Every structure is written in structure tokens, then in C-alpha cells.
Chains A and B, each alone.
Chain A
Amino acid sequence: MKTYGKTQVLSSSIKRLSLLGLAAIMLMGTLGCSKTAPGDSAALQQQTAKETAAAQTILQVNGSTSVEKLMTMLSDRYTAKNPGVSLQIQAPGSSAGIKAVHDGNAQIGMSSRELKGDELTWGLKETVIAYDGIAVVVHPSNPVKDLTTEQVNAIFSGKITNWKEFGGADQEILLVIREAGSGTRDAFEEIVKLFEEKDGKKVSTIAEDRAIIADSTNAITQNVSGKESAIGYVSLGSLNTSSTIPLKLNGVECTADNIKNKSYAISRPFLLLTQGTPSAEVQPVLDYILSADGQALVTEEKFIPVQ
């Protein structure tokens, strides 16, 4: 009963305190409102915002999620040197970016694949800023070290389902793939021909019913490194050689040099696109990215420079 009395005293004092606090907050709220409303600080702020807007060139950059990370870093460095320019980068995917440039909604498009179909007729100018390879990775204990592009196709389309066909253990092959819509998956399907035309639509032929689907490159690496029978694919920039082993493809190792001289089969360019000749605002950005400084950053991010 003694403790009960104590808690009651305590709770009533808390009540009183919180009442006071609430009243204080409300009072401050009303005071604050009446102060700022006619005040001149807001007007001042508006003015400065206008001034900076007038001085700044804003470039809309739109496209691939794979290019976005590199582009953001390049843009940070560029705008640090050229404070008058700001780049607004959005990444809804390569196709959307290519279309945005064509429609005039963006000055620069980012694509992690070559242009195809209709896009080739739109008069877009491509600038290759880097190359990226896609490594096919397996568990370190897997004796299979080398596959052909056709064999990779057969594995991912589910035509061959056991490692013993390639001299490996008698073990069912476990596919680890990215979700529908992923840029890396798109490029992989495109290059390894894991698609077919159906009613005019491109349809993936990856055997999804035999696969584990991971939502990021890191999740792919984790899954492959944890399972002896797994095979997956990751961008060379995110390859982790301590927990997964990249396979040779048609006898060619997945290295920066082999991607640059195109002997490694699964590689893709990172493109920047402009409608026609780049404008006077855009050209310096492209020049910077292709400069030694810009390309050094490309190498730093583990992509392959073009110069």
C-alpha cells in the first residue's frame, strides 16, 4: 500500500509537469506562428532561391539503375568544380531513360545496354563512358571452372539441370537470379539469349521455377557462397572473389582487360545519350567524364574505363 501511495504522488506530479510542458509547447507554437508570418526572413529566403536558380543550369539525367551509382559520383565531382551546374539524376531503368531523352524530358539518358529496335532510329547520340562485365559465379568448391555461352544458356534455361554434365559433382544445379526488371538481369538475358519473342513481347526463358530470386547483387553473392550447387551472375564491379569464383567463359577469364578487348562474351557498355549533338551545357559534362580525372573514378568504382 505504501508503494501504491508513492506511485500516485509520482503520477500526479508527472501529470502536472506534462500539463505545463504541453501548455508551453502550445504557447510557443502560437508565438512562433505570429512571428514568422509577416516577417521578412521568408521573403529574403525566397529572393536568394530565385537568384541561385537564375545562375544555375539544371540538367536532367534519367535512366539505368546500374549506371546511376557511377553517374552520381561523377556528377558530385563535376559540380564541385562547376558550381553553376547541377545534375538531377533519376533512375527508372535504361528503357525509360532512353525514352525520356527522346521525348525531351531529360537532357542526358543513361543506359546499361546497347540501343535496340526503334531506339536506333531516334537519332540519339551515344557516348560510351565505361564498360561493365557480368561474371558468372559459382561456389568455390565447384570443380567446374569453364563454360561456353551455350552451356550457360542451357543451365539458366533449365535444359541442363545437373553439374555432372559438365564434369562436376552429381548435384542438381541451383540457379540464383535477379528479379524481373533488374538491369543486370536484362543485360544477362540479352547477351546469353535467354529470351524469346512471344506475341511481339520479349519473354524471359530463364527457368524461374528452378531458381532462387535475390533482390540485390550482394544477396546473389551471399546465396552462391552458401551453396555448393549454386550458379549466379553479378556485375564485375560487385564481384567478390573470396566467397565466389567467376567462371571462364569460352575459355576467357572475366577480367577488365578481356572485357575491354571484347574477348569476354558477357559485357555491356554504360552509355550516355543525347538527342542529336550534345548542347553547350551537356558537352562539358561528357568531356569531364571522358577526361583522365573522370575515367580514374570509373576505374576506382571497378568498372572498365574507355580511354
Chain B
Amino acid sequence: MKLKKYMTLGVEKFFWLCAILSLLALLLILGFLLKEGLPPLFSIGFKSFLLGQRWKPLEETFGIFPMIVATVTATAGAILLGGFIGLFTALFLAEVASPKAARLIRPLIQLLAGIPSVVFGFFGLVLIVPWIANRFGGPGNSLLATILILSVMILPTLASISETALRAVPQEYREGSLALGASPMETLFKVTLPAAKNGIIAAFVLGIGRAVGETMAVVLVCGNRPQIPQSLLDPIRPMTSTIAMEMSYSSGLHQEALFAIGVILLIFIVALNLSVNYILRGNKDL
């Protein structure tokens, strides 16, 4: 009996250690990023860095406004398109499909999540980019190509988490609604969906997070032109692809500026998480 008690204690300590380790990793990364990325923010100047329109690292001109626009528009487009399809996929799997069909489709969608991102990028470069160039004109490497690739990539995240949230809605809600005379679709949209709202918001945030941070696939299809896109067919250069592309050759202030982009990305992600926590806290009653 005593042994068992000690073992429990040991295991508890072990878990505690693991938790501390992951926290330590986070703190190390944060510390490193801020140490490397904050000084250039001050030396370049917040305003000229964030709102500057020109990115000419060899001339020491560092303006990342076009990249911020690129990241935001690509993510927004992907979450609109991917979110739309993902949410309805989840509704289908959780509420409409027969158990047999759901069992068949669900693993296939999750398989999509397992495809390495560079493969998505290559697929985009070889198939989607030439298709856009031939169908709509322009270079093909574009905001549109980025949005298409990103929305496919975030689809599995959105679909599976939203589905879990929908399945977690108690059966009594649906039964009650149907018993009161609501049609199945009214029940779906007016009862089940609002009840699963928190989980679905969480799914969307994870999707946004993935889209903001995605690099390998994006760098291949976005065109990497550091310019504010005027249309869906213009090339863009998101923040992540700048870091990935230029890190290997950069030195001095250029390298520091890339770390500074990392800091801006970090601020994006933190702001995203905070705003979601805020939204979810506001909806506690649901």
C-alpha cells in the first residue's frame, strides 16, 4: 500500500516536471525572440517598421506594412472560405450524415491534416498557380492561390473541432426543440449551433493561428512580392515567408529585422488568443 502511495507521488512529480519543461520552452523562445527582435524595432523605429511600404534589406530599408496586409488578407480569406466549408462539413458529419457515412468521411478529412505542408505548397505551385494564371491572368502566384491553399490546410482543424463541439451538445436540446415543433433544420441552426458556439469559436481561432503561422506551403505559392496587393491576383509576401526566405543569407541589421518580424507575429498570435479568451468569458452562460 505504501509503495503505491510513493508511486503516485512520483508520477505526480513527473507530470509536474513535464508541465514545467513545456513552460520553460515557451519562456526560452519568448525571451530569445524579444532579446533579438526588440532592439531592431527601436533602432529602425516602430512607425517606419510597421507602416513602411518598402522592404529593401540590402539598402537597410525595412517596412513591413505590405507583409502585415498580406498576412491579414490571406488569413481572412482562408478563414472565410475554409471556415465556411469546414463548419458545414462539421454540421454534416455531426448532425446529418448517417453514422456509416460519417465513419467513412471523417478519417479522410483528418488525413488531410496529416499531409506535410510542403506537399500542399508543391501541389499549389504545380497545379493551382498555373490554373489561376491561365484562367484569370496575372502571374498565378497570388493572394488567391495563397487563400485556396490555406483554406484547404485549415479545413481539417476547423471541421474536426467544430464537430466535437456539435457532438457535445446534449441530445435533450435537440429533442426539446423537435418536440416543440421546430423542423430539423431550425433545430440545427437555432438550437444546436448556438449551443456549440464556444467550441466552434475555438476551432476558428486555431484555424486562424495555423493560417497566420503557415510558411512552407505559402512561400511556394504566394509570389513573395513585398507589395500591397491591389487584387486577388496580385502576388503577396506574408511575414512568415519573408523570415523563411531571407534568414539563411541575412546578417546584421537585416537578420535582426527578421527577428523583429517574428516579434510582430508573436504579438498577432497573443492578441488572437487574448481576444478569444475575452469572447469566451463573455459567453459563459452558454
Q: Give chain A's interface residues, CB within 8 Å of chain B.
A: 19, 22-23, 26, 65, 92-93, 96, 174, 179-182, 198, 201-204, 208-209, 211-215, 219, 222-223, 226-227, 230
Considering the complex, give the chain B residue whose CB is closest to the CB of A226. Answer: B130
CB proximity to A under 8 Å, residues B208-250: 219-220, 223-227, 235, 237, 244-246, 248-250
Q: How far is the CB of A155 from chain B (nearest CB, A)?
A: 15
21 contacts between A and B (CB under 8 A): A19-B7, A19-B11, A22-B11, A93-B251, A179-B224, A181-B57, A182-B249, A201-B59, A203-B56, A208-B226, A212-B139, A213-B223, A213-B225, A213-B237, A215-B219, A215-B244, A219-B125, A226-B125, A226-B129, A226-B140, A230-B139
Contact A23 B139 (CB under 8 A): no
Complex contacts, B56 vs chain A, CB 8 Å: 180, 203-204
Contact A203 B225 (CB under 8 A): no
Contact B58 A180 (CB under 8 A): yes
Instruction: Count how many pairs of residues, one from A and one from B, have CB atoms less than 8 Å apart in the complex.
Output: 84
Complex contacts, B235 vs chain A, CB 8 Å: 212
Residue of B58, B60, B125, B225 near A223 (CB, 8 A) is: B125
**B248-262 vs A: 1/0 string, CB under 8 Å?**
111100100000000
CB proximity to A under 8 Å, residues B1-59: 7-8, 10-11, 14, 56-59
Complex contacts, A215 vs chain B, CB 8 Å: 219-220, 224, 244-245
Contact B57 A209 (CB under 8 A): no
| Interface size range on B against A | 35 or more
Q: Give chain B's interface residues, CB within 8 Å of chain A.
A: 7-8, 10-11, 14, 56-60, 125-126, 129-130, 133, 139-141, 219-220, 223-227, 235, 237, 244-246, 248-251, 254
Complex contacts, A19 vs chain B, CB 8 Å: 7-8, 11
Contact A213 B224 (CB under 8 A): yes
Given contact pairs A212-B224, A215-B219, A26 touches B10 in the complex (Cβ within 8 A): yes
Among B60, B220, B244, chain A packs the most CB atoms within 10 A around the CB of: B220
Considering the complex, give the chain B residue whose CB is closest to the CB of A183. Answer: B249
Considering the chains assembled together, what is the distance between the CA atoms of A23 and B139 in angstroms? 60
What DSSP secondary structure best describes chain A's contact surface?
Answer: mixed
Given contact pairs A209-B225, A213-B223, A226-B133, A181 touches B246 in the complex (Cβ within 8 A): yes
Complex contacts, A22 vs chain B, CB 8 Å: 10-11, 14
Contact A222 B225 (CB under 8 A): no
Considering the chains assembled together, what is the distance between the CA atoms of A19 and B4 in angstroms? 9
The 9 A-B pairs with the shortest beta carbon distances in the complex, nearest first, are: A181-B249, A213-B224, A226-B130, A215-B245, A212-B223, A179-B245, A212-B141, A174-B139, A180-B57
Given contact pairs A93-B249, A174-B139, A23 touches B224 in the complex (Cβ within 8 A): no
Given contact pairs A209-B227, A212-B235, A222-B125, A179 touches B246 in the complex (Cβ within 8 A): yes
Considering the chains assembled together, what is the distance between the CA atoms of A158 and B59 in angstroms? 19
Contact B14 A211 (CB under 8 A): no
Considering the chains assembled together, what is the distance between the CA atoms of A192 and B14 in angstroms? 63
Complex contacts, A226 vs chain B, CB 8 Å: 125-126, 129-130, 133, 140
Considering the complex, give the chain B residue whose CB is closest to the CB of A209. Answer: B227
Considering the complex, give the chain B residue whose CB is closest to the CB of A20. Answer: B7
Complex contacts, A204 vs chain B, CB 8 Å: 56, 58
